[in-house]
Structure 1
Amino acid sequence: MTVQTLRRSALKIDTADIGIGASAETVRSGYLELTSMLDRLHRRYLDVVRVELESMGINNINPSQALMLVGIGDEDIPVRDLIHRKGYQASTVSYNVKKLSEYGYLEQERAAHDRRSVRLRLSPKGRDIVTRLRDLEARHMEFSNGRSELLRGMENATSTLRQLDQIWAEYITFG
């Protein structure tokens, strides 16, 4: 199913269901703007990570791979948990784990009781990248320090995105 099909399905909104006096067209345009903004912000954040990687002199991994390292963090995590808990696709995980291991950012260890099960942990080189990216996040969080209006806006945005995540999860599960 394409993103456009999902958007069209999700946009079949009955005005009576809105219940806040907004027109279906207002909800429709807000939804389209939000989904467009999600895509744009994701790409923008990857660019932010890319710039940070470049400033570190790292050019052998991409921003998505760096964020996978952040997702692993301090854990000793089975590959299956990256797929299930962290939301990565299996084919993406396989490729990225292979590359990150080849470049020395990840260490892999097969479980003694089940040779098919692989656990991952960051190497010192991988921990260095994660530390730098967490420092970057901390610097960015400082922008909101003392700006209560911005903080309230982020809390509202997070709440809205959680609701949208729930709606999409239910759509995927139940159609």
Structure 2
Amino acid sequence: MPQRNPSPVRPVPALRPVPATSRTDAYLESLQILERLHRLLQDIVKDEFERLGRSDLTPVQALLIYNLGMSEVTAGELRSRGMYQGSNVSYNLKKLVELGYVHHERCEMDRRSVKVRLTPDGQEVRERVADLFARHAEGLELSGILDDPAIEAVNLQWRRVERYWMEQIRYIY
């Protein structure tokens, strides 16, 4: 019996650069695209968990679990690893502890700080998100979307923007 591919790769229409009236316009368009991508990522995670019949987690909480990974970190370290637009990381961590996805304990060296790590249930959620991302990466690879320009070059450019922004923040303070 032939197996069905659960997420068929659909051809993506080619997009052509739209000439911006200025570099500033192109930069502002990039910022809007990033915002939309972030919201879409949350929608994708939400849809995946709905398909799995799981309504106990928000997309932000699932992404927090994913970014926590197999590490044991403080809430501040976790906040710096991911984008949690419009969310309170401390509140979401508290909810994840209540739901049994995250274990927390006070640091021995600094009792004000709390270290967090995934429970076995949290590890299972992380695997679901990792599977989702792997399926999408495979689909994007097969479609050629990651090739022109190469995703590595795009990532390099965004890391440069990130560094520039960080320098701007340091300059202000």
Same fold? TM cut 0.5: yes
The whole-number CA distance in structure 2 between the counterparts of 1:71 and 1:64 is: 10
C-alpha change, 1:35 and 1:114, in structure 2 (3 Å) is: closer
Q: Which residue is 1:159 aligned to? A: 156
Work out the percentage of aligned pairs sharing the same amino acid: 38
C-alpha change, 1:167 and 1:114, in structure 2 (3 Å) is: closer
Query: Cα offset for 1:76?
Result: 1.6
Q: Which residue is 1:41 aligned to? A: 37
Q: Deviations over 1:90-112 (max 9, x none)?
A: x8221111001111110112234
C-alpha change, 1:132 and 1:28, in structure 2 (3 Å) is: same
Query: Cα offset for 1:172?
Result: 1.4
Query: Cα offset for 1:54?
Result: 1.1
Aligned-partner SS, 1:150: coil
Matches within 5 A, 1:162-173: 162-173=159-170
Q: Which residue is 2:48 aligned to? A: 52
Structure 1: segments with no counterpart, 5+ residues? 1-23
Paired amino acid for 1:71: N
Greater share of helix:
1
Contact kept, 8 Å, 1:77 with 1:120, in 2: the verdict is yes
Contact kept, 8 Å, 1:75 with 1:121, in 2: the verdict is yes
Q: Which residue is 1:63 aligned to? A: 59
Structure 2: segments with no counterpart, 5+ residues? 1-19
Query: Cα offset for 1:146?
Result: 5.4
Query: Cα offset for 1:171?
Result: 1.5
Q: Deviations over 1:17-50 (max 9, x none)?
A: xxxxxxx942011011100000001001110011
Matches within 5 A, 1:46-125: 46-86=42-82, 92-125=88-121
Note if 1:126 corresponds to 2:125. no
Paired amino acid for 1:92: N
Contact kept, 8 Å, 1:71 with 1:86, in 2: the verdict is yes
The whole-number CA distance in structure 2 between the counterparts of 1:110 and 1:36 is: 39
The structure showing larger relative contact order (alpha-carbon pairs under 8 Å, at least 6 residues apart) is 2
Aligned-partner SS, 1:144: helix
Contact kept, 8 Å, 1:82 with 1:88, in 2: the verdict is no
Paired amino acid for 2:116: L
In the alignment of these two chains, the number of paired residues is 152
The whole-number CA distance in structure 2 between the counterparts of 1:158 and 1:112 is: 37
**CA RMSD after TM alignment:** 2.5
